[in-house]
Amino acid sequence: MTTLIPDPEAREPELDGFLALLAAQRSPRTVDAYRRDLKTLAAYLGKPVGRATLEELERYVAQLRADGLSNSTIARRTASARSFFRHQQLLGAREDNPAAAVALPRRTKPLPKTLSPGEAERLIQAAAGTQPRSLRDQALVELLYGAGLRVSEAVGLDRAGIDLDDRLVRVIGKGGKERVVPIGRHAAEALRRYLARGRPFLDSRHRPELFLNARGGPLTRAGAFLILRKVAEKAGLDPQRVHPHLLRHSFATHLLEGGADLRSVQEMLGHADLSTTELYTHVTDRRRRELYYRAHPHARKRSTEDQLVDRSTRRTLHGPGIGSGVADDEGRPGQERT
């Protein structure tokens, strides 16, 4: 396996200019991802990225496949190169975009994993308590599950963004877009308890953020992950399985299973594209099928014991030559079942 290690000392003015412009449009994490991808490509090429050819990029992608990288990683690294060359075209530094002609592996979107309603309830109950941090933890879990917020949106909420009278949360999502999400009665009550008996004891620094840590500072993403893992362990769930986005997936899936329309769920989640929200319909279709096959009398598979009793009864009533010991619902080739 060939390991491609970018040279941190190598400077490329064209690349630096692209990343500086990107920093004004994207988040720091996104810019860091682009930087790593393009530096890795430069290390493979042994020359500035701006001088790459189509053939070199195709060999690069082939090498990534040989190294065993996932389809999504290969697609992301190629997309970084495409964005860079598109920038070069706009500047007039290059006429073509060689990365645009590189064939990409098909990316498969895995279905979102979710908690069952019972597991979500166990998680919320496990967070219950009377201490300030317990009140905060239950309010956080209720809000993540009850409003489907991203973890960055939850920890970025200000106290002023909560309207408990109308049970609404004002969220600043991706790209600075604002949306208003309703919350249920249980979430509103958990937030009211936290604001009355929990947050005042944590707010030693007079911060505007809704969720505070034990030292009075704003709760971080890492802190929210740690809280959920501890609560999951207390609830008897796998701590490695439970994370903030799992509650967001559960929020969307349970809404659709309860009859909510897709467009409303899209708006509450803050998805720019409806196709992203449609992933949850596949989850509900799968669960619906499982419930049907488990519950409907004509869909359930009969037990081996039932089938043996049925065959024995047929032989007793009709003799061994009729039916050949095959139950009606098992069918025979060429026969129509009634």
Q: What is the pTM of this model?
A: 0.58
Measure CA 77 to chain center: 21
CA-to-CA distance for 142 and 120, rounded, in angstroms? 9
Q: Which domain holds residue 277?
A: 117-292
For residues 125 and 235, the answer to whether their CB atoms sit within 8 Å is yes
Is 254 in the active site?
Answer: no
What pLDDT is attached to residue 10? 52
Is 39 in the active site?
Answer: no
Asked if residue 69 belongs to a domain, the reply is yes
Q: In the structure encoding, which two tokens stand for residue 4, read together?
A: 């491609």
Instruction: State pLDDT tens for residues 97-129.
Output: 999 988 877 766 666 688 999 999 999 999 999
- Pick the most confident of 13-27, 226-240, 271-285: 226-240
Residue where a domain terminates, one of 101, 127, 146: 101
**How many domains are contained in the chain?**
2
Is 170 in the active site?
Answer: no
Task: For residues 61 and 140, state if they share a domain.
Answer: no
For residues 311 and 327, the answer to whether their CB atoms sit within 8 Å is yes
Of 51, 245, 289, 318, which residue is the catalytic one?
A: 245
Task: For residues 93 and 139, state if they share a domain.
Answer: no
Task: For residues 86 and 122, state if they share a domain.
Answer: no
Is 263 in the active site?
Answer: no
Neighbours of 54 (CB within 10 A): 14
Is 249 in the active site?
Answer: no
Of 107, 109, 174, 288, which residue is the catalytic one?
A: 174
Is 150 in the active site?
Answer: yes
Three-state secondary structure call for residue 153: helix
CA-to-CA distance for 296 and 292, rounded, in angstroms? 6
SS3 content of the chain, % helix, strand, coil (to 5): 60, 5, 35
CA-to-CA distance for 63 and 5, rounded, in angstroms? 14
Task: For residues 81 and 182, state if they share a domain.
Answer: no
Q: What are phi and psi of 162, to 5 degrees?
A: -110, 125
Residue 276: pLDDT band by 50, 70, 90 thresholds?
A: confident
Q: Which of 80, 9, 3 is nearest to 38 (CA)?
A: 80
